[in-house]
Amino acid sequence: MRWLENLDRRWIFLAVGVLVLIPLLRPLALPLYVSPPTQGFVNAMDQIPDGSTVLMSCDYDPGAKPELVPMTRTAIRQLWSKHCKVVVTVLWNGGPGLVDQVLREEGRAAHKTYGVDWINLGYKSGNEAVMVLMGQSIPNTFPRDNSGGVTTSYPIMHGVRDYSSFPLLVSISAGYPGTKEYVQQVQGRFHIKMVSGCTAVSAPEYYPYLQSGQLEGLLGGMAGAAEYELARHEKGAATQGMDAQSLAHMFIALCIVLGNVVLWQRRRRGA
């Protein structure tokens, strides 16, 4: 076991790469389970009245694509299945292009019309200041949409004024600005119902908000997205990725154990 002590980290990298790749090529179909935070997300989405207009803030960029795009797709499909209209904003400057591409693909598949069933208001710099300004007026905060069109000229925006125009805020967030800031600046101030989908690494940070009821549901990373797909009886990219993630988690657990084997070995020799 001495080789472990001087193990080149590139072997670990190779092992992670292989373990992630294999299940992507040959799925293992491990069983999934819908956790209470995911169920809360699904229920909150189910409870909004059919046909209402929902605000979805997609605050991420391509770095978080594998974790957040699958849940964005499932969420928008669930909203459209209820004939809801979706107003999308992006507070990350690297995000509007990716979000637009995803929404257009989903829109084409569901035969939804831009400007009527959904709109991408695009990016606005200013982080929390933008969130607060949206509480005063969304058309004033986003006078033009992502494609440069006048926001108020779209039918979907006719009933949209501020947060009170929406029964639910869906925050899909990769960090700052994102869910935490929406809870602090918007949920706390304007008392809008809110659910969140976030990267796995930030999920623990949002658990207190879930417990306090400020968030009605939470999807944590790809696991949350896969659970959401299961709850919606869909099999999307997140479900496909979960086998790979399972093996990667197992491998990291193994790394912790092996790292400690090295420590014990050293101690025994030293003793």
Partner 1 sequence: MAGVTLPSATTEPACRPPAARASRVLAGSAAAGAALILLTAGALAQSPAASDTTRSASLPPAVTPATPTGAPAPRPASGLVASDVPNDAGRAIQLDWKASPDDVAGRHVLSQYVVERAENPGGPWTTVDSAAAGTTTKVDQNARRGVLYFYRITAAGPGGRTPALSITGPVSAQSQWFNSTRWSVLLLTIVFFGGVLWFIASAQAGRKPFVRRIPGISAIEEAIGRATEMGRSVLYVPGVQDIDDIQTVQGLVILENVARLTAKYETPITVPVAYPIPFTIAEEMVKAGHLHAGHPEAYDPNSVRFVSPEQFAYVAAVTGIMLRDRPAAHIFMGSFYAESLLLAETGFITGAIQVAGTANVAQLPFLVVACDYTLIGEELYAASAYLSGEAKLVGSLKGADLMKVIVIVMIVVGCVLETVGIHQLTHWMVTQ
Partner 2 sequence: MKREVPLFITAAIGLFMILSFFVPHQVVSVPADFLQQSAVIVVAFGYVLGGANVLRVNVDAISKRADGWPYKLMLVAALLTMLIVGLVEGEGFQNEGTRFTWMYNNIYSPMAATMFALLAFFIASAAFRAFRIRTVDAALLAVAALIVMIGRVPIGTALTRFLPEHHRLPDLAEWIMNVPQNAAKRAILIGAALGVMATGLRVILGIERSYLSGED
Residues that bind partner 1 (CB under 8 A): 49-52, 61, 63, 93-94, 127-129, 159, 161-162, 164-165, 167, 174-176, 188, 191, 199, 201-202, 204-205
| Residue 251 engages partner 2 in binding (rule: CB under 8 A) | yes
What is the DSSP code (8-state) at residue 142? -
Query: Which phi and psi (to 5°) does residue 224 adopt?
Result: -65, -40
134 or 168: whose CB is closer to partner 2?
A: 134
The smaller minimum CB distance to partner 1, of residues 144 and 161, is found at 161
Binding mask 133-162 for partner 2 (x = CB under 8 A): x--x---------xxx--------------
255 is written with which tokens? 């790394």
Judge contact between 168 and 44, C-beta under 8 A: yes
| 191-230: burial string, b at 16+ Cβ within 10 Å, e else | ebbbbbbbbeebbeebeebbeeebbbbbbbbbbbbbbbbb
**What whole-number distance in Å separates Cα of residue 204 and Cα of residue 239?**
21
Quick one: what does residue 220 bind among partner 1, partner 2, none, with the CB cut-off 5 to 8 Å set by partner type? Answer: partner 2
- Of 207 and 264, nearer to partner 1 (C-beta) is 207
CA atoms within 13 A on the CB side of 12: 14
Q: Are 57 and 90 in contact (CB under 8 A)?
A: yes
2 forms part of the interface with partner 2 (CB under 8 A): no
Q: How far is the CB of 91 from partner 2 (least distance, A)?
A: 12
SS3 at position 97: helix
Enumerate binding residues for partner 2 (CB under 8 A): 7, 9, 12-13, 15-17, 20, 30-33, 35-36, 61-66, 94, 96-98, 100-101, 104, 122, 124-126, 129-130, 132-133, 136, 146-148, 200, 204-205, 207-208, 211, 220, 223, 226, 242-243, 245-253, 255-256, 258-260, 263
